[in-house]
């Protein structure tokens, strides 16, 4: 939001965002993997189903049903890691802009020195948070693996039922 307007960043420019806007993307990839921050903000509909892809989707649903706290923690963690990485990128961009715009001796530019000190401290804090978040994410994924057999069986069951029509047309769905 900027001055009452809702903007969206496209490349390096900000454009007005209309809440009625829908964007559809199609792909021929059987099991596309997108960045976590993209997956959280969009709805991915996969019309081609593979055993592994269905297993991954079912794992998410089983964990969401059995351990909603775990899945919610994983979602928050993905958003947190994404925000921290974005903040680091913004700090880098700010420092580079100040270096580029600096006139004369850069050691005399107090704003640049102050920004560098601030960005170093912030970078250290964010780096530690990202490392802690990645350790937490690994432990969450290990806990999720407990439910993998249920997701695997669900995936196998789907494909068995889908292939029943190959034996007899009566089993078409």
Q: Tell me the range of 16-20, 36-40, 116-120, 143-147 where mean pLDDT is highest.
A: 143-147
Token representation of residue 81: 């890691």
Token representation of residue 140: 């969450």
Rounded to two decimals, the pTM is: 0.51
The per-residue pLDDT for 152 is: 94
The mean pLDDT value for 85-107 works out to 81
* pLDDT tens digits for range 5-48: 888 887 888 888 888 887 777 777 766 777 877 777 777 776 66
Instruction: Of 7, 40, 44, give the one whose Cα is nearest residue 24.
Output: 44
Collapsing DSSP to helix, strand or coil, 49 comes out as coil
Q: Are 169 and 163 in contact (CB under 8 A)?
A: no
- Compute the distance between CA of residue 16 and CA of residue 1 in angstroms, rounded to an integer: 10
State the pairing for strand pair 7-10/13-16: antiparallel
């Amino acid at each position: 939001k900027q001055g009452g307007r809702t903007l969206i960043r496209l490349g390096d420019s900000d454009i007005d965002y209309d809440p009625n806007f829908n964007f559809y993307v199609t792909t021929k990839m059987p099991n596309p993997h997108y960045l976590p921050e993209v997956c959280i903000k969009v709805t991915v509909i996969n019309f081609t189903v593979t055993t592994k892809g269905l297993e991954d989707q079912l794992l998410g649903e089983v964990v969401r049903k059995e351990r909603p706290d775990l899945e919610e923690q994983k979602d928050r963690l993905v958003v947190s890691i994404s925000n921290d990485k974005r903040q680091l990128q913004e700090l880098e961009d700010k420092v580079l802009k100040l270096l580029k715009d600096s006139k004369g001796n850069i050691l005399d530019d107090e704003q640049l020195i102050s920004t560098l000190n601030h960005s170093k401290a912030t970078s250290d804090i964010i780096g530690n948070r990202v490392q802690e978040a990645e350790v937490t994410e690994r432990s969450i994924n290990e806990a999720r693996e407990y439910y993998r057999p249920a997701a695997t069986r669900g995936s196998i069951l789907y494909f068995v039922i889908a292939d029943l029509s190959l034996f007899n047309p009566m089993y078409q769905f």
